[in-house]
Structure 1
């Protein structure tokens, strides 16, 4: 009986499918930018920390493709493209903004090892997955 209680206590102490931390600096799948992911209040967000390939209008590139005219003058460098991410089981859920299309998508991110981040952008049931690698 004591063994059964000890086993039950051990199992109860184990976290249930906790998401691996995703904070850090990540190179996008297209290898054109470094995204810095970290806390934004109680949630996580990711900002464009560095361009690896200069955008068409240079380092001062603005959010010209945004659907909201008022946001088209904001700089891409330093802008949040991952917003509102919170832990959900073994992954993180939030939204991802694509400055190339000016669209925002539902998103799921999940660590796939120490140096790999799986990033999904979804519309309805359809998702596109990218692999981002940890920045050196």
Structure 2
């Protein structure tokens, strides 16, 4: 099966990376962010009092096995498993939880599950995205692709 897209969170592998020391006051989460692996871009915008994140670009948008656009085929809901990866919402219920920090759920298309998550501005061009499964937490730092 084709390798999945870059918003792969190594949650289950438990990348025990410490969170950013603190978000910078001047940081802004809105914009387009390149995942740490560099194979997906996510547009983050303000919505409903919090933030939303949607996949807008994939390094490998076509599934080599099918020749068709990548879909959310790991989703346990058959109706959702046909959703295109481009346009896929990743953040759910991300509400402010501190200065330049949001907490909610993040969707992991690699396994079709959602996890408790924190997103924080780690610098003017760095966004820290973390997820937890029970007590095991991991994350990655995304870099700004566009404002």
TM-score interval (norm. to shorter): 0.7 to 0.9
Aligned to 2:73: 64
CA contact (8 A) 1:96 1:121 kept: yes
Number of positions where the alignment pairs a residue of Structure 1 with one of Structure 2: 120
* 1:21 counterpart residue number: 28
The Cα RMSD (Å) is 2.1
Cα displacement (A) at 1:59: 6.5
Q: Deviation of residue 55 (structure 1)? A: 4.9
**Larger relative contact order (Cα-Cα within 8 Å, sequence gap ≥ 6):** 2
Query: What stretches of structure 1 move > 6 A for 4+ residues in a row?
Result: none
Distance apart, 1:42 and its partner CA:
2.4
Q: Counterpart of 2:82 in 1: which secondary structure?
A: coil
> Which structure has the greater CA radius of gyration?
1
2:141 equivalent in structure 1: 131
**CA pair 22-33 structure 1, distance change in 2 beyond 3 A:** same
**Runs of 5+ unmatched residues, structure 1:** 1-16
Q: 1:123 to 1:135 in 2, by over 3 A?
A: same
C-alpha contact 1:19 1:89 (8 A) present in aligned 2? no
Contact 2:50 / 2:102 at 8 angstroms: preserved in 1? no
